[in-house]
């Protein structure tokens, strides 16, 4: 199982990619709140972070795939 | 001051420690908030709440404080400013607006002196550019002796009283209690390491004239820790800087008078946007 820090680092990598390559996605990211409870609970934090990371990856990959498809169809 | 439970505590490793931060909103140039000693990033919640719909705002816990724990490394303002640059690098931020209060201002001034190309604008709150005089240094070392002898409580209580305006101490008891909780969360070791860092900081007054970026200086009129005269000095020596004085505020003007503080901050950030748009920047 990933640690909180590892998950945060993974989230940062995807977030940086989005900011750099697809900044238009940022508005959707802001609609995906990551609510980590104030009370320290590593299990809940890891669960929440994992879910947030997975949502970000889906958002990013789907957008990139659709974008690539749309570019390809425009070429045809 | 409200508790810091509405933003995620993000974590990332920079400069051999794990930094905890909040990163909210979107904007062209992010604003990095640096807290004072011995507080944490939660002191900026009022600013993050107020401005996050218009700007990207990042508040971080400085090494050793809040959730950026590090009780091993000797702390210094030089190290904090290196941490800041490493943090910007990690977040892929080429240029930032930096907003520092008290110790956060020492870090901002130190970082701008060494890495001027990394900053777009500067906001100095209740801070100063002078190094400690011999007398102040001696007092700090006496405080460390006292903490080692009697524990940290007496120091913390005295410090909390010194940062607030008398009216805040009487009428804003919840705010005082919340800040007190933050201060008492620090270990004795971190309080001592922080005092040592403050005592050893180099002066930055001699480099004020080289600051060529828009600068806003905000100070509580009754700031007894870094008195108004220090802000006036910086204002005189930073060309084109703007000085805003907040009445009924002491050393933590952003907490004591958040509406007025946020108004000045927002106006300043809006003015940067206007300049950027006039220059046709993307």
Q: What is the pLDDT of residues B124-142, one digit of tens each?
A: 999 999 999 999 999 999 9
B78 three-class SS: helix
B60–A contact, CB cutoff 8 A: no
Average pLDDT in the B218-230 region?
Answer: 98
Report the chain B residue with the minimal C-alpha distance to residue A30: B25
**Predicted confidence band of residue B278 (pLDDT cuts 50, 70, 90):** low
Look at residue A48 in the predicted model and tell me its pLDDT: 87
Task: Return mean pLDDT, chain B.
Answer: 95
B53 touches chain A (CB under 8 A): no
pLDDT at residue number A68: 77
CB-nearest to B26 from A12, A30, A36 is A30
Chain-chain contact of B92 with A16 (C-beta, under 8 angstroms): yes
Write out residues 24-43 of B within 8 Å (CB-CB) of A: 25-26
| B4 chain-A contacts, CB cut-off 8 A | 38
The domain ranges of chain A are 4-75
Asked whether residue B272 carries a pLDDT value surpassing 90, the answer given is yes
- The CATH number assigned to the domain holding B234 equals 3.40.50.1820
pLDDT-wise least confident of A58-72, B56-70, B72-86, B241-255 = A58-72
Which tens digit of pLDDT belongs to each residue from B5-26?
Answer: 557 789 999 999 999 999 999 9
Domain assignment present for B258: yes
User: A5 vs B92: CB contact, 8 Å cut-off?
Assistant: no
* pLDDT, position A33: 64
In a domain, B253, yes or no: yes
Cβ distance B10 to A38 less than 8 Å, yes or no, reads no
pLDDT digits (tens, 9 = 90+) for B138-178: 999 999 999 999 999 999 999 999 999 999 999 999 999 99
Round the CA-based radius of gyration of chain B to a whole number and report it: 18
| Contact between B25 and B116 (Cβ < 8 Å) | no
DSSP letters, B179-200, are: HHHHHHHS-HHHHHHHHHHHHT
Q: Which is nearest to B22 in space by CA: B2, B48, B3, B46?
A: B48
Q: Which residues pair with B14 in a beta bridge?
A: B17
Question: How far is the alpha carbon of B10 from chain A, nearest alpha carbon, in Å?
Answer: 6
Structure-token match 């005269």, residue found = B229
Can you list the alpha helix ranges (DSSP code H) found in B62-125? Answer: 77-90, 103-114
Smallest Cβ–Cβ distance between B11 and the set A4, A16, A35 belongs to A4
pLDDT higher than threshold 90 for residue B253: yes
CB contact at 8 A, B25 and B14: no
Question: Please, are residues B250 and B222 in contact by the beta-carbon 8 Å criterion?
Answer: yes
Predicted local distance difference test score (pLDDT) of residue B145: 98
Q: What is the average per-residue pLDDT within B49-73?
A: 95
State the total domains in chain B: 1
User: Could you tell me the residue range of the domain that residue B222 belongs to?
Assistant: 10-278
pLDDT value, residue A36: 58
Reported confidence tier of residue B281, pLDDT bands at 50, 70, 90: low
With a CB-CB cutoff of 8 Å, which residues 252-281 of chain B face chain A?
A: none
Beta bridge partners of B123: B99, B216
| % pLDDT > 90, chain B | 92
């Amino acid at each position: 199982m990933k640690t909180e820090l590892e998950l945060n680092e993974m989230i940062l990598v995807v977030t940086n990619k989005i900011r750099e390559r697809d900044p238009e996605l940022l508005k959707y990211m802001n609609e995906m709140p990551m609510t980590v409870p104030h009370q320290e609970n590593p299990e809940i934090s890891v669960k929440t972070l994992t879910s947030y990371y997975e949502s970000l990856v889906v958002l990013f990959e789907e957008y990139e795939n659709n974008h690539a498809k749309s570019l390809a169809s425009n070429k045809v | 001051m409200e508790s810091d439970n509405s933003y995620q505590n993000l974590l990332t490793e920079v400069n051999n420690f794990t930094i905890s931060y909040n990163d909210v909103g979107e904007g062209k140039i992010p604003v990095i908030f640096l807290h004072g000693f011995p507080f944490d990033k939660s002191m900026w919640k009022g600013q993050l709440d107020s401005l996050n719909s218009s700007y990207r705002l990042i508040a971080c816990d400085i090494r050793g404080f809040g959730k950026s724990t590090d009780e091993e490394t000797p702390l210094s303002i030089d190290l904090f400013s290196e941490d800041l640059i490493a943090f910007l690098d990690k977040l892929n931020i080429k240029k930032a607006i930096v907003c520092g209060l008290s110790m956060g201002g020492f870090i901002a001034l130190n970082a701008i002196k060494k890495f001027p190309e990394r900053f777009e604008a500067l906001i100095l709150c209740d801070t100063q550019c002078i190094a400690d005089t011999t007398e102040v240094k001696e007092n700090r070392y006496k405080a460390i002796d006292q903490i080692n002898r009697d524990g940290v409580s007496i120091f913390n209580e005295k410090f909390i009283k010194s940062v607030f305006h008398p009216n805040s101490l009487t009428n804003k008891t919840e705010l005082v209690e919340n800040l007190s909780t933050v201060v008492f969360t620090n270990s004795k070791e971190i309080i001592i390491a922080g005092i040592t860092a403050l005592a050893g900081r180099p002066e930055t007054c001699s480099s004020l004239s080289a600051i060529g970026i828009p600068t806003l200086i905000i100070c509580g009129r009754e700031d007894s820790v870094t008195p108004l005269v220090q802000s006036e000095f910086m204002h005189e020596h930073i060309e084109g800087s703007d000085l805003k004085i907040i009445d009924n505020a002491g050393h933590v003007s952003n907490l004591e008078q958040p509406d007025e503080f946020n108004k000045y901050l927002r106006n300043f950030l809006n003015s940067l946007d206007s300049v950027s748009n006039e220059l046709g920047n993307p």
